Chain A
Amino acid sequence: MNRSTRTCFILCFLIASSVTALRGEDRAANRELADRHFTIRILPLLKTKCFSCHGEAPKDVKGDFDIRSRDGILKGGESENAAIIPGKPAESPLFQAILWDGLEMPPKENDRLNKEQIGWIRQWIATGAPWPSEDVQRRIHQEYRSEAINEDGELVNTSGGVSDDWTFRRYQAADLWAYRPLKHVDPPMSFEPAGHAVDAFINRRLRTAKLKATSRADALTLIRRATFDLTGLPPTWGEVCAFEEETKRKPKTAYSKLIDRLLASDRYGEQMARHWLDVVRYADSAGFANDFSRPNAWRYRDYVIRSFNSDTPYTQFVKEQLAGDEIDAKNPENLIAVGYLRMGPWEHTGMSVAAVTRQQYLDDITNNVGETFLAHSLRCCKCHDHKFDPLPTRDYYRMQAVFATVQFADRNLKFLPKENTARMEEGSKRIARLIKDPGIKQHIPKGTSPEDAAKVHLGVNKVKRKQLQTYQRLANQFKPLALSVYNGPPTRYISNTLRHPFPGKRSGLPQEIFILTGGALASPTEKVTPGVLSALPAVLPKSGKNRVQLSTTKIPTSMNGRRTKLAEWITRPDNPLPARVIVNRVWQWHFGKGLAANANNFGKTGAKPTHPELLDWLASWFIDSGWSIKKLHRLIMTSDAYTRSGTHPNGSTIEKVDPDNALLARFLPRRLTAEELRDSMLMVSGELNVEMGGVPIRPVINREVAFQPRHVMGSVTPCYQPSRTPAERNRRTIYALKMRTLRNPMLEVFDLPGSDMSCERRDASVVTPQVFSLFNGEAPYDRSLAMAKRLSQQSDDINQQVALAFGWAFGRKPTDAERKLTLQHLAKMSAFHAKHPPKKTELPGSVIRTMVEEMTGVTFHWEEQLDIYQKYVADVKPWDLDPSTRALADLCLALMNSNEFVYVY
C-alpha cells in the first residue's frame, strides 16, 4: 500500500478506538480490525523476531519468558512482571524493550524493529493486545489472501514459495514495473514539434521540471561522440573535416549519413560485442585454480561480432546462444553460439566432487541467463524464495532444470570461410615445437649445496609437466573445434581434461533437478520439472484472481527441446522483460546509463526507470522494427537528447536540480573505457591493424607481470610473451587474449571488469595507478614513439607536425595558446634529447624463474626459454629516432595522457 493510504488507515483506526462510547456494531468492527492487525502484522513479527529465543526451544527459553501466547506474555519472565499492560504501551516492558530502552530486544543490531514495526506493536498494545483464536486467525488469513489488492499491496501469482507467508506476500505496484506488460502509449507529440518520438517523452519531463535543454553540440563533438559510441575508436582528422564541411551545408543529412557510415563499419560489431561480452563474462580461460585455457572460445567472440555487424534480429541472437544446437545443429554458427552456455568460470580438479562441480555450473548458468536476458539476478533464489522479488526458489530450480540436459563438448566444426584462420599454421607449428621441448632447464644458483641441488629436481619436472599441459591445451586452438554443448544424460567429469568429447551415445535419462534447501546439495527436497519465471507478466487484475499468464509456455521434460522452449518464451513479444532489457542496454551504451540504471536488475532493488513510458514505447518500437538493434541505434542517435551539447547555459542551476542528468537536459561526458583507450592510441599512432577475428592476439603488457609466476595447481604457467610482430599484436583489444587470472594491468587500472561476474556497466574511476600505466608504461611510450615517427614522415615542418598531432589526437587544430606552449616544449625537449642519446636495451631470450616447491617447502629456480622474444620484431623504439622526433614523442605522450584524449563529450 502506498504510504498515504496506510497512514490514513491507521489514523482512522486510532481515532475510532479513542472514541469511548461506541455502539455495538462499531465495537465489533474495531474488534475485527484489531484481530486482523494482530493476525497479519503482529503474530508474524513476533514469530520472526522473538519466538526462536522465547519459546521455540523448550529447553532453553531465554529469561524464562515464553512469548508464544497471550498468557505467556501476561505472565512475563524471570522478573514475574507482565510483559504487556494491555492498553498502555508506554508502561509495557515489552514495548520498552523493543525501543532498546533498558532491555534491548531483539538483541542484535541488524535484527532491531524498524519504526513502522514499533508502531504496530504500540497500536496492538493500545488496543488491548488482543490474541484471537486460531480459528479466527485462519479465517482472517483466508479473507486477507483472497484480496488481490489491499492496503498492503498486491498479490502476485507464482509457482509458489516454500511457505504460504511468502506465496501470499504482497508487492508494491511500483516495484512490479518490469513484470507488467509493455504499455502501449502514444508519444506526447505536442511536446516535440520536430516529430521525434524519443524527444517527445523527454521534453515532456523537462517542461514539467521547467528545465531548458542545451543546444545541439558542434560538429566535432558530434562526430567524436557518435564514432566512439558506435565503433570504440576516434574519427580520423579527415573524417572530422569532411563532416564539419558537410554539416555547414546540410546539417541533417550530414549527421544521418554519418550514422549510416558508422553502422555499416565492421568496427561497429567489435564495439557492440565488447558490451555484450561484459554481460556474458567472456574469457579465453576457465578460471579458478588452474585457469586452463579455453582455446576455442574466440569463435564465440567472433560469432558475437558477426551477429552485431549483420544486425541479426535480437530474438534470433538470443535463441542461437541459448539453444542453437537444438534448433539446427547443421548450422555451424549455432554450435558456436551456444558457447555462451560455457562462458562462466568452471573447473573440476582432482579434489572436486563431481556433483558439486555440476551444481556450480547449473547455478552459474541459471544466474547468468537471468541477468543477461531478463535483468534479474537469480542467485538469491538458490537458497530461499527471493527476499524482494516475486521469484520463488522453485522457479530458480525450474529454470535450472532447463539446463539439466546440457553437457559440455568441444565439437568438431570446420572453420567457416568467414572465420579468420590466418597464421594458424605458424601458430600450430610453434605449439608443436614447444610440446616437443618446452624450453625448461633446471637452474642452480651459485653456492647451492649438492643436497639442495638434488631437491629442486622435483619442482622443475613439475613445471615442465604443467607447461606441457598448457601447450597441449593450446594446440586445440588451431584445430577445428567449437566450445559447445549437446543434450545428454549426466557425464563423468574428468579433472584436467584436455577436451570434452562429443560422445556417440547420448541417450539416457536427463539429470533430475530438485529444490535444494539452503542451496545445499545434501538437502534435496521436491523434484521439479523445467519451467520459466512464473510471475510474468504481472497484470493488474480487474477483479479477483484472474490474471493473464505467460505460463502457457510449457517446457518439455524430454532430453531435447528444453532450451528451445525457454528461448521462445524469452523472446515472445508478450514477455515484458527481454525487449525492455536490451533496449535499456542500448540506451546505456549511448547515454552512459540506462533509463533504468541497473541494466542487470529490474527487480525491486534495481533503480526504477526515469522515463518508464519512453522505455516501454522504445521496447514496443523495437519489437515492431523486427528486433533490429541497428535501427534502434539510429532512432536513439537521431534524437535531440543524444545530440545535445554538454555545456548548459544555467550550469549551476542544473547541477543542483538534476545532478544525475536524469532528465537529459544535457549530455554528460564519459571517460574512454580501457579498450577504447588502447585502441585509440594505436589508431592515432597509425599502428592499428584492423584485421578481424581469429585466435587471440597477445599485446605487449607490463613485462614484470608477463614474467611473474602465475600459480596453477602445484606449479606455474609459462611466461606471457607478446605476439611476434607489430601487425599481429597491434590489433583491437577485443581480440586480445583474456585470461581470467592474467590481466593486462594497463586495462585493469582503467576498470576492465573481471570475467567472473556479469558486468552491467563499466566504472570510470580516477586513480593514481592509471598515471603510472599511461604515463610511464612501455605501451604508451611505444605508441607515442610510433606517432612521432609518423609525424616526422608526413612533414619536416614543425608547425605542420604540431597541427597534425593535434588533428590526429583531438580532431582539431591547436589554438594559438596551445601552439605556443607546444613549440616551447618541443624546443626544450629537442635540446634535452640531443644531450641524452638513448641506450639500446635488448629483450631477454630466456628468464630465470623462481618458486617454492610445496612438497618440500624449498625454493627452486629454472631457466625458461622465451622463443618469441628470440625472433621478436619490436615496435618503434627511441634509439630508432633522432632527437627532434623523440621530442615529438614527448608531445604525443602528453596528448595521449591529456584529458581531451580520454574524455568524450
Chain B
Amino acid sequence: MALHRREFFHGLGAVLGTAAFNAMLQAEEAGPLASKQPHFPAAKAKACIMLTMAGGPSHIDTFDPKPKLAELHEKEFQRKDKFVSSMASGKRYFVRSPFKFQQAGDSGAWMCEHFKHLAGVADDLCIYRGLRAESINHPTALYHINTGNRFGGDPALGAWTTYGLGSLNQDLPGYIVLPEISYPQGGAANWSNGFLPANFQGTPLRAKGSPILDLTPPKGVTREHQRSNLDFLSGLNKLHKDRHPKHRELAARMESYELAFRMQAQVPELIDLRQEDQKTLDMYGVGGKHTGSFARSCLLARRLVERGVRFVQAYTAGWDSHDYLERSHRNRIQAVDQPIAALIKDLKQRGLLDQTLVIWSGEFGRSPDNGIRGGGVRYGRDHNAEAMPFWMAGGGVNAGHTIGATDDIGQKAVEVAHPIRDLHVTLLRLLGLDDNKLTYFHGGRFKQLSQTGGEVIEELIA
C-alpha cells in the first residue's frame, strides 16, 4: 500500500500544490479512513443507510399506482423498441395491480395497502417516480445502481462515500454491507472498492455464522493462545523492522494485526441484539416469522450508524415477481414494511434521522404488461428499466413529497425523469460531496467516482 500510496501522493503533489499536498499527507498519517471535511459543510447527512431490494420491486405495485391498468387489464399491449428486452416479444397483455392503494400521512403519499407500518412515517419520505435505470438484467442493473457502471469492477457508492468522508470509527470498516445468507446476483462486486484502495471496500457482516470471515481462529484456539502467538509474531516483526528501518509499510502491517485483535472483541458485541430492549426488538419485528431477517439488518444498520460507520447497505432479495405477483410482492412487502418503518422511527427518536440518509431502491422497475401465463392465474411483471420505485428519508431530503411521474401505464418515467447517474450525484450532494471533486488518480488520470458525473436532482433536496 505505502508504495502505491506514495506514488499517488507524489503525482498529486505536482497537481495540487504544496498546501493541499501536505494536508493530504497529514490525512495519510491519520489513516485512510480518517474523517474528512465534506465539500459542502452545510449538508446534514453524515451517514447513509441504503436498503436494497434485489430482484427489481415493482413501482406499479408499491408507490406508483396506475388506475389506468385496471381499465386495460388483459388487453393486448405492443412494444416497439426492439433492443429493450427479448421478454418484450410474443403476445403481451396489460396486468392491473392486485393491490389496493392508500394515501398516507399529511402529504397523502400513495402506497400499497400492505405498507401498513411505512404509512405511519409517510411524511418522512421523499418518494421519487422519475428514476430510470438502463439495464434489464439483474447483475448489470445492480452493478449500475451500486457503482454507476453496468459491468462491475468499479467502486461502489459506499466506497465513494467513505473515500470522500472517511469514517468516524477507526476500529470498524467505514462501509459495511448486510447481505442475506445468499448474496445478491453479481456477488461481492456490488460492494467493491474497484480502483480505490482496499480500505474502502464494503465489508459484509454476514447474516449467518461468523459475521466477518475468519473473525475468530479455528475452534480450540483461545484468546490467550492467540495473544501469545500475536506477541511472538510481533517480536519477530520488530526484529525484522530493525533491519529494514526505511520500509514504512511494515509498521502498518504490524498495526493491522492489533486492530484485528481488537475487532475480534468488538464485532460480536456490535451484532449482539440482546443488548437492545424488548420494546425496540418488537418495534423492528426481530424474531418475527416474516420480518425477522430484515428486522435484524435494519436494527444492525442503526447500531452501526450510531457507532460512526459511514455507509451501511442492507440487502433483501426475492422481488423478481415474473409470476404470482400478488403473493410474492405481498410477502416481500410484509417482510420489510415493519423493520423499515421502525428504522425510521428509531433513528428519529434518537435524533439520528436528520444526520442519516436512508435510501430504498431496487435495481429496476417492472413492466405494466406480461404474457398471460398459467391461464391467467400467474399474473406477474417482467423487468423494466425505464421506470422504478425509489424513496429517501432523513438528512436533507425533501420529505413529505412525491416527485416526478411515470406515464399513465407506468411504462416509463416522464416527469422529472433522470438517469441513475443524476441520482448518484444527488445522493453525494446530500452527503456533502461534490462529485466533480470526488476523484481518484488511477490508471494515469483523475477518475470521477460517479463515472461521468451528472446533474443534481434539486427537487429531491429540501
Contacts and interface: CB of A to CB of B under 8 A. Distances in A.
Contacts of B233: 894, 897-898
A661 to B, nearest CB: 9
Contacts of B85: 351, 353
Interface in B184-203: 184-189, 192, 197-199, 201, 203
A351 B86 contact: yes
B182 A669 contact: no
Contacts of A748: 188
B3 A764 contact: yes
Contact of B436 (A110, A646, A776): A110
Contacts of B402: none
B102 to A, nearest CB: 21
A903 B236 CA distance: 14
B216 interface: yes
B436 A899 contact: no
Contact of B331 (A289, A351, A858): A858
A522 interface: yes
Contacts of A417: none
B82 to A, nearest CB: 7
Nearest to B317: A852
Given A751-B198, A766-B252, A288 B140 contact: yes
Interface string B124-144: 000000000000111110000
A60 interface: no
A828 interface: yes
Contacts of A899: 237, 240-241, 250, 253-254
A821 B254 CA distance: 18
Interface in B279-325: 317-324
B451 interface: no
B219 A754 contact: no
B329 interface: yes
B327 interface: yes
A349 interface: yes
Contacts of A670: 3
Contacts of A815: 239
A668 interface: yes
A600 B195 CA distance: 14
A858 to B, nearest CB: 6
A354 B216 CA distance: 48
A898 B233 CA distance: 6
A362 to B, nearest CB: 14
B100 interface: no
A716 B187 contact: no
Nearest to B54: A711
Interface stretch (B16-24, B224-232, B410-418): B224-232
Contacts of B328: 854-857
B220 interface: yes
B70 interface: no
A829 interface: yes
Contacts of B327: 856-857
A592 B6 CA distance: 14
A314 interface: no
Interface stretch (B43-51, B155-163, B207-215, B393-401): B207-215
A356 interface: yes
Interface stretch (A241-249, A737-745, A786-794): A737-745
Interface residues of A, number: 111
A767 interface: yes
Contact of B444 (A593, A606, A711): A606
Contacts of B218: 776, 778, 781
A651 interface: yes
Given A704-B213, A751-B198, A768-B256, A855 B322 contact: yes
A785 to B, nearest CB: 10
B445 A765 contact: no
Given A288-B140, A839-B220, A711 B184 contact: yes
B321 A742 contact: no
Nearest to B260: A771
Interface string A766-808: 1111111101111001000000000000000000000000000
Interface in A68-126: 108-110
A351 B3 contact: no
A692 interface: no
Nearest to A606: B444
B138 A289 contact: yes
Contact of A829 (B7, B214, B228, B245): B228
Contacts of A395: none
A457 to B, nearest CB: 14
A845 B314 CA distance: 32
B38 interface: no
A289 to B, nearest CB: 5
Interface in B247-267: 247, 249-250, 252-254, 256-257, 259-260, 263
Nearest to B437: A109
Nearest to A772: B214
A898 B181 contact: no
Contacts of B217: 775-776, 781
Contacts of A769: 203, 212-213
Interface string A642-653: 000011100100
A759 to B, nearest CB: 9
A601 to B, nearest CB: 5
Nearest to A658: B10
Given A600-B443, A763-B197, A741 B187 contact: yes
A484 B116 CA distance: 56
Nearest to A896: B233
A204 B244 CA distance: 28
B383 interface: yes
Given A522-B83, A854-B319, A899-B250, A647 B55 contact: no
Contacts of A593: 7
Contacts of B348: none
Nearest to B242: A817
A612 interface: no
A590 B101 CA distance: 66
B259 A350 contact: no
B66 interface: no
A449 B183 CA distance: 28
Most buried by B among A347, A354, A648, A708: A708
A771 B256 contact: yes
Nearest to B8: A660
A730 B43 CA distance: 53
A521 B83 CA distance: 8
Most buried by A among B138, B222, B330: B138
Given A109-B434, A764-B1, A705 B213 contact: yes
Contact of A856 (B2, B83, B173, B324): B324
B152 A766 contact: no
A606 B443 CA distance: 6
Nearest to B215: A772
Interface in B421-460: 434, 436, 443-445, 453, 455
Interface string A582-611: 000000000011000110110101110000
Interface of B: 1-4, 6-7, 10, 55, 81-87, 136-140, 151-153, 173, 180-189, 192, 197-199, 201, 203, 206, 208-210, 212-220, 222, 224-225, 228-230, 232-233, 235-237, 239-241, 244-247, 249-250, 252-254, 256-257, 259-260, 263, 317-324, 327-332, 335, 382-383, 434, 436, 443-445, 453, 455
Given A351-B383, A878-B220, A898-B240, 15 more contacts: A110-B436, A347-B137, A709-B181, A745-B213, A765-B1, A768-B260, A771-B256, A772-B213, A772-B215, A829-B225, A832-B225, A854-B322, A857-B329, A900-B240, A903-B250
27 contacts: A108-B455, A353-B83, A600-B443, A606-B443, A646-B246, A646-B247, A670-B3, A702-B213, A710-B182, A710-B187, A741-B187, A756-B151, A760-B443, A764-B4, A766-B249, A775-B230, A776-B215, A778-B218, A815-B239, A821-B235, A829-B229, A832-B225, A832-B228, A857-B328, A890-B225, A890-B228, A899-B240
The 5 residue pairs across chains A and B that have the minimum distance between CB atoms = A857-B331, A709-B182, A771-B260, A765-B198, A857-B328
